Amino acid sequence: MDVHGNSQTSAMQARRRAAMAVLARASGKEIAARLGAVALPAYESLREPESGLVMVRGRIGGDGAAFNLGEATVSRAAVRLASGEVGFGYALGRDGEKAKLIALCDALLQSDEHADGAEANVIAPLRERLIARRNARAAEAAATRVDFYTMVRGEG
C-alpha cells in the first residue's frame, strides 16, 4: 500500500509512469498507427498542443551539486475523455501532435473501460519494438568489440 493506504492508485501511477516512458521514446507516427487499432472514445482537448522551454538540470558524477545545463523545447497537451478521465502529454521537441497522442493514451490508461485495450494494442507493441531496437543496437556494438586481452597476449 502507498502512504495514503491505496495500493490501486499506486499501481495505476506505476502503470502510467511505465507507459509514459515507452510513449516518450516512440515516434508520433508509431503512436498514431497503434492508436488506429483501438476504438477511441469521444474526447475533447483541454489544452491544445503548445511548445515552450524547460530548464535541463544536471549533476557532475551523479552526486554533485545541481547546475543548469541548458534549455530544451517541449510540447504539451491535455485531453479529457467523455467519461471524465484527463490525460496529459509531454514530448521533447516541437511535435505537438505527439504530445496530444500521448495525452490521449494517458487518459485511456486511466479509464476502466479502455485501459486494457490501450495497454495491449498500443503500449505493449511499442514496448516490444523499442526493446527490439535496443537489442539490435547492442548487437551492433557487440560486433565491434575488441578483446584486448587476446591482442596483448598474442602468439609467440
Torsion of CA 75, 10, 108, 23, to 10 degrees: 40
Q: Which residues of the chain have pLDDT under 50?
A: 1-2
pTM of the model: 0.81
| Res 1: pLDDT | 44
- The Cα–Cα gap between 90 and 98 comes to 8
| Res 145: pLDDT | 79
Q: Are 51 and 92 in contact (CB under 8 A)?
A: no
Collect all residues with Cβ–Cβ distance below 8 Å to 20 and sequence separation of at least 6: 102, 106
pLDDT by residue (tens digit) across 25-35?
999 999 999 99
| Res 5: pLDDT | 53
| Res 148: pLDDT | 67
Q: Are 53 and 71 in contact (CB under 8 A)?
A: yes
Crossing angle of the two packed helices 124-143 and 7-25, in degrees rounded to 10:
50
